[in-house]
């Protein structure tokens, strides 16, 4: 009886730690309505950079969405990285039809350099403009105003702009989980950045100044690490003065989701493997959030199994309050991003996310040999 009572006390502490994250980060972010007012800055040209490795079908499907942006002056650079499909020929044909398209072809990767970072570096070197806007070959911008909305976020002292990239809706539970996992990640890094505590970004929708990239030495300090060209780079160089976020629905990008659990886990293994390189303060905050979120569900399940009626009542009431707050956060987040909310199985998705995060996260952190494509 005493042990169960202690569990209940621990649960209450965990409950209020989660409430702290919701009160400090999540609620202010999801309730904020970003302004469309353009900054009083001269219009700057933009260079969109897309790296592609054997992605001819994705390029055929998505590249036109990037080329047909409603923006005054921009270029689209496709870095064709060691592809042995038809990408080279097809891109050459497209260059004749679209003067603002430039293809950069890479046949080999420099020694000691991660292939993705080397491809990005070559694309940035070829860029004619200072504002660099990144995406992937399997992505589509949410609207023809994508470049416009992202570029608006650059103020006089802005060097980095974090965008949001989600996954397209498909049938099946795997797709539901992928979209939830991505939405949870977007909620975390966007709400932290909203409070001027940016710790990561996603390369499917990320902008920064070429001059800033060069001044920081590019990816030199990260060249040998697989992954981290987006989140780890932002973690290292973003601060409260130089970083903004853009979460307008028109500024989102959407990617094709993985269609099997194996391919999804392989993708996330690469993403999760760089978390160990984050700054200590960011690892502590993220660790505290995920640990208390996990502990809340563990104690709730144990309490219902082992507890007395009073403990069970307390645990059930507080868990219900927690879920209500979660529903409110994700409901308003979906409105903010202009997507449909997955309301009916939120608890199931969250519990599965917790299992996935700890099991696969630990495995990814211990894995040394990863590949880009």
pLDDT tens by residue, 29-79: 999 987 655 554 567 899 999 999 999 999 999 999 999 999 999 999 999
d(C-alpha 125, C-alpha 74), whole Å = 16
pLDDT above 70: residue 354? yes
Give the mean pLDDT of 276-283: 91
Q: Is 354 helix (H, G, I), strand (E, B) or coil?
A: helix
Q: For a pLDDT cut of 70, what percent of the chain falls above it?
A: 92
pLDDT of 2 strictly over 60 = no
Residue 76 or residue 369, greater confidence = 76
The pLDDT of residue 64: 97
Average pLDDT taken over every residue of the chain: 89
Q: How confident is the model at residue 286 (pLDDT cuts 50, 70, 90)?
A: very high
Domain boundaries, the chain: 2-30+281-366, 39-260
How many other CB atoms sit within 10 Å of the CB of residue 216?
Answer: 15
pLDDT in tens, 191-226: 999 999 999 999 999 999 999 999 999 988 877 676
In 238-345, where does DSSP find H-type helix? 261-272, 280-306, 309-337
Q: What per-residue confidence (pLDDT) applies to 373? A: 53
Given a cut of 70, whether residue 290 has pLDDT beyond it is yes
Q: What's the confidence (pLDDT) of residue 261?
A: 83
pLDDT at 264: 80
How far, in whole angstroms, is CA 365 from its chain's centroid?
18
Instruction: Please give the average per-residue pLDDT across 89-95, as a whole number.
Output: 95
Q: Is residue 25's pLDDT more than 70? A: yes
Average pLDDT in the 322-347 region?
Answer: 91
Q: What phi and psi, each to the nearest 5 degrees, are found at residue 83?
A: -75, 140
CA distance 72 to 43: 8
The model's pTM is: 0.91
Fold classification of 39-260 is Spore Coat Polysaccharide Biosynthesis Protein SpsA; Chain A (3.90.550)
pLDDT at 43: 74
Q: What's the confidence (pLDDT) of residue 1?
A: 47
- Residues 124-182: pLDDT tens digits? 999 999 999 999 999 999 999 999 999 999 988 999 999 999 999 999 999 999 999 99
Between 334 and 341, the more confident residue is 334
What's the pLDDT at 3? 52
Task: Give the angle subtended at the CA of 182 by the CAs of 229 and 52, to the nearest 5°.
Answer: 40
Residues 6+ apart with CB under 8 A from 210: 47, 124, 127, 129, 130, 131, 132
- Which residue, chain included where needed, has tokens 């495995």? 363
């Amino acid at each position: 009886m005493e042990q169960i009572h202690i569990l209940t006390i621990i649960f209450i502490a965990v409950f209020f730690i989660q409430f702290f994250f919701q009160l400090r980060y999540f609620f202010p972010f999801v309730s904020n309505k970003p302004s469309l007012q353009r900054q009083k800055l001269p219009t700057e040209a933009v260079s969109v950079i897309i790296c592609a490795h054997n992605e001819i079908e994705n390029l055929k499907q998505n590249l036109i969405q990037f080329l047909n942006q409603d923006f005054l002056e921009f270029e689209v650079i496709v870095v064709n990285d060691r592809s042995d499909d038809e990408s080279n020929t097809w891109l050459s044909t497209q260059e004749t039809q679209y003067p603002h398209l430039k293809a950069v072809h890479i046949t080999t990767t420099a020694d000691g350099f991660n292939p993705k970072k080397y491809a990005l570096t070559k694309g940035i070197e070829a860029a004619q403009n200072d504002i660099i806007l990144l995406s992937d070959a399997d992505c589509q911008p949410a609207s023809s105003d994508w470049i416009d909305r992202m570029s608006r976020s650059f103020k006089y002292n802005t060097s980095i702009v974090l965008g949001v990239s989600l996954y397209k809706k498909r049938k099946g539970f795997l797709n539901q989980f992928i979209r939830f996992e991505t939405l949870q990640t977007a909620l975390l890094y966007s709400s932290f950045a909203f409070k001027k505590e940016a710790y990561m970004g996603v390369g499917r929708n990320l902008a920064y100044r070429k001059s800033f990239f060069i001044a920081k030495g590019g990816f030199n300090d990260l060249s040998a690490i697989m992954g981290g060209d987006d989140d780890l780079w932002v973690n290292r160089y973003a601060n409260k003065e130089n970083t903004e976020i853009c979460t307008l629905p028109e500024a989102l990008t959407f990617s094709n989701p993985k269609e099997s659990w194996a391919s999804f886990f392989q993708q996330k293994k690469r993403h999760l493997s760089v978390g160990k390189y984050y700054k200590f303060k960011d690892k502590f905050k993220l660790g505290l959030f995920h640990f208390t979120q996990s502990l809340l569900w563990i104690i709730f399940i144990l309490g219902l199994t082992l507890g007395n009626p009073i403990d069970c009542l307390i645990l059930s009431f507080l868990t219900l309050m927690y879920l209500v707050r979660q529903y409110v956060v994700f409901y308003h987040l979906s409105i903010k991003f202009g997507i449909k909310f997955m309301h009916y199985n939120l608890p199931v998705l969250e519990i599965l996310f917790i299992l996935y995060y700890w099991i696969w996260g630990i495995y990814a952190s211990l894995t040394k040999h990863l590949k880009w494509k």
